[in-house]
Structure 1
Amino acid sequence: MDLPRSFTIRESSHRIHNPFTSEKLAALGRALHLAPGTRALDLASGSGEMLCTWAHTHGIVGTGVDISSEFTARARARASELDVADRVVFVHGDASGYVADEPVGLAACIGATWIAGGVAGTIDLLRRSLRPGGILLIGEPYWRQDPPDQHTVEACHAGGKDDLRPLPELIGRFGELGYDVVEMMLADQDSWDRYQAAQWLNIRRWLDRNPEDELAAGLRAELAEEPARYARYRREYLGWGAFALMGR
């Protein structure tokens, strides 16, 4: 049980595995006004940057669950680096059915709603761990512009145009599911650049060290094509945001 090796190569230098800068992540933490001691659950927690930095800054405690053994190890190291290892725990495992042992005040899945089949399924999974009056935090892509054709859709890593919604429709969908949107933080093109472009340097440095690896040919082709494809499609058409929700 683990992520494909190609994914961890692409994001080997990333602390945040979505198009958020550290500044945006910090701003989101401040915007949520988290009380010290707030218990959090982060499903698909990646390298643990959200839990670790918010534990350090805001005094929260909690658990992160991620399928990547490499990212989980990084999360534990980050907790030690920030001296919060006594406040946050990281579990290597399948987040798709994980429910906290006791109710939490913040239940999050930032950019991985595929773990429960989409937004509705992930909200349903998270609410099983949430105490009354707690906050759900969902990270999800949306269309910045209407994609003109299926080629554009696929270049944005979507199977079909209807797999994603424009931002107003995504916010409306949260309401249909019975939740108020009480805060949001959106990626911009600069934070997308920082997320995507860092992958190209990671790939190139890995290729220089591992020219004979079985993944080298595929990653070499990706590096040759991906920067222009990103600039033409995802940078223009794909948005991403983190949305704080409270049940009605």
Structure 2
Amino acid sequence: MDIPRIFNITESAHRIHNPFTPDKFATLGAALRLAPEDRILDLGSGSGEMLCTWARDYGIVGTGIDMSPLFTTQAKQRAEALGVAHQIKFIHNDAAGYVSDEQVDVAACVGATWIGGGVAGTIELLAKSLRPRGIILIGEPYWRQVPPTEEIAKKCLANAISDFLSLPELLASIGHLGYDVVEMVLANQDGWDRYEAAKWLTMRRWLEENPNDELAEEIRAKLSTEPVRHAAYTREYLGWGVFALMPRLT
């Protein structure tokens, strides 16, 4: 069980596998008013930076699930480095369909809503692990500017314009599912740069070390085109944020 190998290559040096930066995760943790012993489930936990830093800064406990063996190993190493391995555990597993044995205070999927077939399905999945009055976290792209053509949308690595909503539309769609949006923290263009541009040096170093690998030609093509593509499209059109939700009171 693993993610496609190209992601393990291009993001192997990333601690955060989305456009958030450490200060954004710190802002989000403070905004959620986390308390010691709050229990958090993170589906698609990547290299574990959110859980590890929140365990260090707020004393939370929790579990991260990710299908990349590499990222799961990195998460465990990060927990050891920050001295929080006794508070959190990371499990190499498919997060799709995963439900916690114990109800949690925060159920999160920050940037991997494909596990539930989209935002609605992922919220439904996370709700199965949530205690009453708990908080769901969803990380999701949105259009900062709606692309004028489908070709531009594809340059933003979407399949179509309809893949994403504008920010007001995304917030409204969450409300239509019966949830209150109680907080949000949005990435900025610098965050996109750190997520995308950090791949370029990783790819260059990998090419130097693996010139005859079966993926070398694909990685070479990406390194040649990704800087311009990112600057022209992702950076200008695509936003990303983490949204905190609570079921509406009846």
Same fold judged by TM-score > 0.5? yes
Secondary structure in structure 2 of the residue aligned to 1:168: helix
CA distance in 2, matches of 1:209, 1:30: 41
Mapped pair 1:101 → 2:101? yes
- Residues matched between the structures, number: 248
CA distance in 2, matches of 1:83, 1:243: 28
Mapped pair 1:9 → 2:9? yes
CA distance in 1, matches of 2:207, 2:30: 39
CA distance in 2, matches of 1:121, 1:3: 20
Q: TM-score normalised to the size of structure 1?
A: 0.99
1:39-58 correspondence to structure 2 within 5 Å: 39-58=39-58
Mapped pair 1:87 → 2:90? no
What fraction of aligned residue pairs are identical, expressed as a percent? Answer: 64
Q: Counterpart in 1 of 2:220?
A: 220
Structure 1 gap segments, 5+ residues each: none
Mapped pair 1:138 → 2:104? no
Specify the code of the residue in structure 2 equivalent to 1:65.
I
The structural deviation recorded for 1:27 is 1.1
Specify the code of the residue in structure 2 equivalent to 1:22.
P
CA distance in 2, matches of 1:45, 1:31: 20
Q: TM-score normalised to the size of structure 2?
A: 0.98
Q: Counterpart in 1 of 2:71?
A: 71
Secondary structure in structure 2 of the residue aligned to 1:97: coil
Structure 2 gap segments, 5+ residues each: none
Q: Counterpart in 2 of 1:127?
A: 127
CA distance in 1, matches of 2:146, 2:48: 33
Deviation sequence 1:6-42 (CA, Å, 0-9, x none): 1011111110000011111111111110111001100
Secondary structure in structure 2 of the residue aligned to 1:57: helix
The structural deviation recorded for 1:159 is 1.3
Deviation sequence 1:59-114 (CA, Å, 0-9, x none): 00010000000000000111111111111010000000100001000000000000
CA distance in 2, matches of 1:155, 1:234: 8
CA distance in 1, matches of 2:148, 2:233: 11
Deviation sequence 1:157-216 (CA, Å, 0-9, x none): 111111100000000011001111111110111111111000011101100111111100
